Chain A
Amino acid sequence: MCSSVCPQGVFVPGKEAAILAAPASCMECGACALNCPVQAIEVQSGEGCAHAMISAALRGKDMDTAECSCGGPEGSCCGDR
């Protein structure tokens, strides 16, 4: 299941369990952890956006939970998705 939901090919199916084939490609989206039927994966997911993290730091907030307000009709920092 993890190998099916990962958009970066981090996992490949193995004989008894999935194999962590490309950990460096992980973008920490958390899809694998959320969909593992035996909860074998733990991910500290978050936004990989320097702009959001720097803005949070400058406003005295926690960088690791920096919110991304993009993705909707109001537009985004980086174009329409």
Chain B
Amino acid sequence: MGHRVEPGLYRLGNPTSECLVFASANYTLSFDALRSALAGNDVWILVLDTKGINVWCAAGKGTFGTDELVSRIETTGLASIVTGRKIIVPQLGAPGVSWPGVLRRSVFNVEYGPVRASDLPAYLKEHTATLEMRRVRFPLWDRIILIPVELVQALPMTIISVLAAGFLLNWIIAAQLLTAILAGLALFPALLPVLPTKDFSTKGLILGGIVMLPFIAAAGPAGVAGTSLNWGMYLISSLLIFPTVTAYLALNFTGCTPFTSRSGVRKEIFSYIRILAVMIIAGLIIAGAGWLVQAGLV
């Protein structure tokens, strides 16, 4: 049960029946964040059974929700343990918890605390949340820490495709493929807000195009050693094939952000998947045609 906490009612410090009640998910990191933010206070913590999942994800799924909160209040007998009728719920529990619903079905009034547990001390002191406490941002650090997991997950596919490109074609193409992949997985998250255009796919295309420029410049009009393509063909096929890879990886980053919407992502998929497919196929055809011409076969 390494990452889960047993659901139920917990004491932090020595709370009396007049002390505050806070709700938490039963994911250890959620529970620990709450406990350390409230350290030194005497409070009650009601841990909901969210199957070991953090507050926001569980709220989206419904497990950190009205039903579970009401049920946990009942099974712990919270109403007879505390005299207060307020329970402080993390703001990111709101997609799953209905305060009118909880009020109707239990005697408790949900009060939404700040997004981050670390803001709780200030919140409790001022009895109010600032606007910033109620916002989820996606700053550079939060984007960058996702990169290692992205890289590890893509590792098998990356190794296979880059090695295949190297052995079957040549190592310059393998290097281009590796660059396109790394641009999509590592550079894109870091540069997300500064890349032009609104859609992840187009941002990815632009970034993918930019990282191809050194290869194109290094090739020069004399042709690229080992690719047997003249420079024009190389330029066109490089800009059609590899940025598509970066763009596809960029599109898949949408699930890692705390601000993309289902309808927005749906629109983006339908707008760009076909374009990306056409681009990569056209690029492969042009590259193939160029190779045939150079090889004197056509």
Contact = CB atoms under 8 A, between A and B. Distances in A.
B261 A26 contact: yes
Interface residues of B, number: 58
Contacts of A64: 262, 266
Given A5-B94, A48-B260, A71 B57 contact: yes
Interface stretch (B37-45, B145-153, B212-220, B233-241): B145-153
B27 interface: yes
Nearest to A38: B100
A48 B257 contact: yes
A48 B57 CA distance: 12
Given A7-B115, A8-B135, A71-B58, A79 B146 contact: yes
B156 interface: no
Contacts of B269: 50, 53-54, 63
A7 B255 contact: no
A81 to B, nearest CB: 5
A72 B54 contact: yes
| Secondary structure class of chain B's binding surface, majority of residues | helix
Interface in B53-103: 53-54, 56-61, 91-92, 94-101
Interface in A53-71: 53-54, 63-64, 68, 70-71
Given A7-B135, A8-B135, A50-B251, A73 B57 contact: no
Interface in A36-50: 37, 44-50
Interface residues of A, number: 42
A54 B261 CA distance: 15
B4 interface: yes
Contacts of B52: 72-73
Interface string A1-40: 1001111110000000000000001111111001101000
A50 B252 contact: yes
B52 to A, nearest CB: 5
Contacts of B200: 50
Q: Which of B51, B53, B96, B264 has the most CB of A within 10 A?
A: B53
Given A68-B57, A81-B56, A49 B254 contact: yes
B112 interface: yes
A73 B261 contact: no
B112 A5 contact: yes
A77 B100 contact: no
Contact of B265 (A26, A48, A75): A48
Given A8-B136, A68-B57, A77-B255, A48 B261 contact: yes
**For the complex of A and B, 9 pairs with smallest distance between CB atoms:** A49-B255, A71-B57, A73-B3, A78-B256, A46-B262, A48-B260, A31-B94, A5-B94, A7-B136
Interface of A: 1, 4-9, 25-31, 34-35, 37, 44-54, 63-64, 68, 70-73, 75-81
Given A7-B258, A48-B262, A79-B150, 20 more contacts: A5-B91, A7-B91, A8-B136, A9-B135, A27-B259, A27-B261, A29-B59, A34-B97, A44-B262, A48-B255, A49-B260, A50-B252, A53-B265, A54-B273, A72-B51, A72-B52, A78-B253, A78-B256, A79-B148, A79-B149
Interface of B: 2-4, 27, 29, 51-54, 56-61, 91-92, 94-101, 112, 115, 129, 131, 134-136, 145-146, 148-150, 153, 200, 251-266, 268-269, 273
